[in-house]
């Protein structure tokens, strides 16, 4: 066990006690100090990033990875804008969300408080270092960061900069701790620190997230996969349906809220499938079909059983013809990943039934699944998208980085 | 791996799909059917319980355990009253708790929905079988129960009765599944069913809870220990303080919200400690003290370092004299278990500082810690008390057995 990781977790916990009672004004002054330090150290960041990039090229990293890793002045500008957006967000800490007066005179309130210490485990993108730290700090939490090995120099520099800002406003450096050993052992040590960490949020591949869920003694908020569906009902406006399906599939196929499956009511399949297939193929999408779909789309690839549970994150879609709404809902609840699912329908009661019965983090009527996102839902920011049901589900903003406590005002009450 | 446990978890998951969309009226008719079946099968329950009790006596069980295990007509009556109370509770499922209209016209709502399938792991008390099932069913959840070996016959009978009631109202028997193998292997298999279980709630010893936290791949809501404090400030009304300390310590010393520690401001220690000590000793309480307390209470036992973190669940209290409010808060945050902590003070700003800075599930000013309880806080019922910070903290009622989903109403919106 790496003692230094335990020490960092302990230091973060100590610092979280200071952040716990920080005013919004104090936390915003910290965020402004981070912006100032990012600005005055831009060249320093770019130099560290150049080192990471050189190493990644030597190791023959893919273009996708190199792109994720790269920072330039524009991306640093976006980082700074991100922090500025967090300053503008309403601070949920201290807000009383429930209040009841009991017959014995006790006033019982439920108040939002920081979670305490948050562990974030992420991979290549160095902007997560600043984004995640800003959200955690604004919500009064200390953070223990563990980024990927590819971005280790960039991340180390970014954390140094944030800690200069902490010093500028006289907050303890432990508010933001960074683990600079990047092997799996380090992750194992980190997720065993349940004495000091209140939650771990992994962001990255499904393998990484699964590994953490299996081994963590710290509660985990998991960002699961998105096997998202669009169901086109018999009463759908087919022009709208076409736009929604194409948008959900091709606007950004590599993300978790992109559609991976298309279900079509049998009554309109003959009419709808050829037109939407033509649009999808023009956009480079490979179409796989069940028997019903392949009978209409003669050059579709037959889908295998495994296709129905798969998240492609690519220009592939599997299409199924269903007998009715109930069959569509049942298919989505059984084979989907409970992330984001949509119905396109002209029948109000069918839309309502779909919204009620589909058990997913976000359910849509007549809109693209691509809207599942903290900004699009009006949360102002996003630390991730939860596909679990405890604590937070769907896009997570500042409020999801808080807990609550019961605050009880008495005048000498004792229990009989 | 015990296949039958996996099959039960799967059956519960299947049944949870039916409960997910059940109306409140339907769920209440189920609860009424459970009451009717409990009434008509009272003798059957008592017979099974007598078998468990005979076996427990043979095994030389303690009187405490035998008392926990025992059912009689009165206790069955209390069980029935518990179910009736749950019928009267407001059903949180379907309630829209947030609503926002986005600039693009999307209406985004956050709606309460059932968690899905809840695993409950508990020990001797058979009433948990009925209480927990009623709360889970009312909130639209299927439940997989695993009770202790001592109560196996009673629990088996109670589950049979509940399943008769499920049949009476034509709901699938899988809504309430029961694991009748009681070894640790069975628990291990159960807490590996993350495909089918959405949460596990362990109720029992700290060892059991710790074991489950360490091994579960299903999210856990932990009922941790209660090392609760009362701090008597220099400005406290000493008569009220005395009543609160005595109540918090002796009214029911075996429960998690009983006080285990007394902190006293040095300015009033000389005056207050002898009188409260006399009251506590009359009630049979052993007093352990730090140096300051032992100087005043000459026949107190010196407290060891380990005392400050200990949950006694017994007629023992450790007493410490502190220099000021800040020191009291610091001690509680460092050595406490973040369950329930109280200040007795006459100074409003000190009360407010304590409520703000003590990081516990329930914080009190001028009241006994014994009120940390779902009924006392007005939640109407209680499935347990969470000492973790994610999802639920403090007493958990029906709302804490729900998740949420984002429900999005569009008119053809796509993402640019």
pLDDT digits (tens, 9 = 90+) for A21-72: 999 999 999 999 999 999 999 999 999 999 999 999 999 999 888 998 999 9
User: What's the half-sphere exposure (Cβ side, CA atoms, 13 Å) at B65?
Assistant: 18
Report CB contact under 8 Å: B363, A405: yes
Report CB contact under 8 Å: B247, A366: no
Nearest CA in chain A to B387: A405
Quote the DSSP letter at residue B304: P
Report CB contact under 8 Å: A410, B370: no
List B residues 370-399 in contact with A (Cβ-Cβ < 8 A): 370-372, 376-378, 388-391, 393-395
Nearest CA in chain A to B250: A415
User: B327 to each of A116, A336, B305, B330, B358, how far by Cα in Å?
Assistant: 20, 53, 17, 5, 11
pLDDT digits (tens, 9 = 90+) for B407-416: 999 999 999 9
Q: Find residue A317's DSSP bridge partners.
A: A287
Please say whether the beta carbons of A276 and A261 come within 8 A: no
Q: Is A295 on the interface with B (CB under 8 A)?
A: no
User: What's the half-sphere exposure (Cβ side, CA atoms, 13 Å) at A216?
Assistant: 28
Q: Give the residue ranges of chain B where pLDDT is below 70.
A: 1-2
Structure tokens at A9: 């977790």
pLDDT at B90: 94
Return all residues near B334 (Cβ < 8 A) that are at least 6 apart. Answer: none
Mean pLDDT, rounded, of chain A:
95
Return all residues near A257 (Cβ < 8 A) that are at least 6 apart. Answer: A226, A228, A339, A340, A362, A369, A370, A371, A372, A373, A385
Q: Find residue B106's DSSP bridge partners.
A: none
User: What's the half-sphere exposure (Cβ side, CA atoms, 13 Å) at A26?
Assistant: 15
Domain definitions of chain B by residue range: 3-224+391-409, 228-371
pLDDT digits (tens, 9 = 90+) for A184-214: 899 999 999 999 999 999 988 888 888 998 8
Q: Is A354 on the interface with B (CB under 8 A)?
A: no
CA distance A114 to A15: 12
Provide mean pLDDT across the span A86-101: 95
pLDDT at B1: 58
Q: Is B240 on the interface with A (CB under 8 A)?
A: yes
CA distance A191 to A173: 21
**Chain B partners within 8 Å of A368 (Cβ):** 410, 413-415
CATH code given to domain B228-371: 3.40.309.10
Provide mean pLDDT across the span A313-328: 97
Nearest residue, CB atoms, B362 vs list A351, A377, A405: A405
CATH code given to domain A3-224+391-409: 3.40.605.10
CA distance B311 to A317: 57
Nearest residue, CB atoms, B415 vs list A361, A368, A413: A368
List A residues 251-290 in contact with B (Cβ-Cβ < 8 A): 251
pLDDT at A1: 58
Interface predicted TM-score (ipTM): 0.92
Q: Is A362 on the interface with B (CB under 8 A)?
A: yes
Report CB contact under 8 Å: B390, A115: yes
Instruction: Residue A171: name the closest of A38, A41, A25 by CA.
Output: A25
**Chain B partners within 8 Å of A106 (Cβ):** 367, 371, 376
CA distance B387 to B260: 16
List B residues 145-174 in contact with A (Cβ-Cβ < 8 A): none
CB atoms within 10 A of CB A378: 15
CA distance A249 to A316: 8
Interface test with B, best of A202, A211, A367, A387 (most B CBs within 10 A): A367
Nearest residue, CB atoms, A333 vs list B17, B199, B333: B17
List B residues 303-332 in contact with A (Cβ-Cβ < 8 A): none
Please say whether the beta carbons of A177 and A143 come within 8 A: yes
pLDDT at A378: 87
pLDDT digits (tens, 9 = 90+) for A343-386: 999 999 999 999 999 999 999 999 999 999 998 998 887 888 99
pLDDT at B45: 98
Provide mean pLDDT across the span A316-325: 98
* H or E segment to which residue B282 belongs: helix B266-282
Structure tokens at B383: 């499935």
Residue B218, classed as helix, strand or coil, is: coil
The pTM of the full predicted model, rounded to 2 decimals, is 0.91
Nearest residue, CB atoms, A414 vs list B243, B333, B361: B243
Report CB contact under 8 Å: A365, B221: no
Dihedral sign computed on CA atoms, order A365, A369, A370, A376: positive
Mean pLDDT, rounded, of chain B:
95
CA distance B71 to B126: 8
Report CB contact under 8 Å: A219, B390: yes
Per-residue burial over B300-327, b if 16 or more Cβ lie within 10 Å, else e, is: beebeeebbebbbeebbbbbbbbeebeb
Please say whether the beta carbons of A229 and A329 come within 8 A: no
pLDDT > 90 in chain A, percent: 87
Q: Is B23 on the interface with A (CB under 8 A)?
A: no
Tell me: pLDDT of A165 over 80: yes
């Amino acid at each position: 066990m790496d003692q230094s990781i335990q020490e960092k977790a302990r230091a973060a916990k100590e610092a979280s006690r200071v952040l716990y009672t920080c005013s919004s004004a104090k936390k915003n002054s910290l965020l402004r100090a981070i912006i100032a330090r990012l600005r005055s150290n831009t060249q320093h960041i770019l130099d560290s990033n150049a080192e990471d990039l050189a190493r990644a090229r030597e190791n023959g990293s893919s273009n996708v990875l190199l792109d994720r890793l790269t920072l330039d002045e524009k991306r640093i500008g976006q980082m700074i804008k991100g922090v500025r957006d967090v300053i503008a967000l309403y601070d949920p800490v201290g807000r009383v969300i429930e209040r009841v007066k009991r017959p014995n005179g006790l006033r019982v309130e439920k108040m939002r408080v920081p979670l305490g210490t948050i562990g974030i485990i992420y991979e290549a993108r160095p902007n997560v270092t600043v984004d995640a730290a800003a959200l955690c700090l604004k919500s009064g939490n200390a953070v223990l960061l563990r980024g990927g090995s590819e971005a280790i120099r960039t991340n180390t520099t970014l954390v140094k900069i944030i800690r200069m800002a902490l010093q500028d406003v006289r907050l303890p450096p432990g508010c933001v701790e960074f683990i600079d050993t990047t092997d799996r052992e380090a992750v194992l040590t980190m997720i065993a620190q349940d004495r000091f960490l209140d939650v771990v949020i992994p962001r990255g591949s499904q393998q990484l997230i699964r590994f953490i869920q299996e081994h963590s003694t710290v509660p985990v908020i998991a960002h699961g996969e998105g096997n998202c569906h669009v169901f086109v009902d018999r009463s759908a406006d087919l022009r709208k349906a076409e736009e929604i399906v194409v948008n959900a599939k091709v606007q950004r196929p590599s993300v978790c809220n992109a559609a991976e499956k298309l279900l079509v009511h049998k009554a309109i399949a003959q009419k709808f499938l050829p037109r939407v297939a033509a649009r999808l193929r023009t956009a480079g999408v490979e179409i796989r079909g069940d028997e019903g779909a392949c009978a209409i789309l003669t050059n579709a690839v037959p889908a295998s059983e495994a296709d129905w549970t798969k998240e492609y994150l690519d220009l592939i879609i599997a299409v199924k013809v269903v007998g009715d709404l109930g069959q569509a809902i049942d298919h989505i609840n059984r084979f989907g990943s409970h992330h984001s699912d949509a119905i396109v329908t002209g029948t109000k009661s069918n839309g309502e039934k779909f919204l009620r019965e589909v058990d997913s983090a976000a359910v849509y009527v007549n809109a693209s699944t691509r809207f599942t996102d903290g900004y699009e839902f009006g949360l102002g920011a996003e630390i991730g998208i939860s596909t679990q049901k405890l604590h937070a589900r769907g896009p997570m903003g500042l409020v999801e980085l808080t807990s609550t406590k019961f605050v009880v005002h008495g005048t000498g009450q004792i229990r009989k």
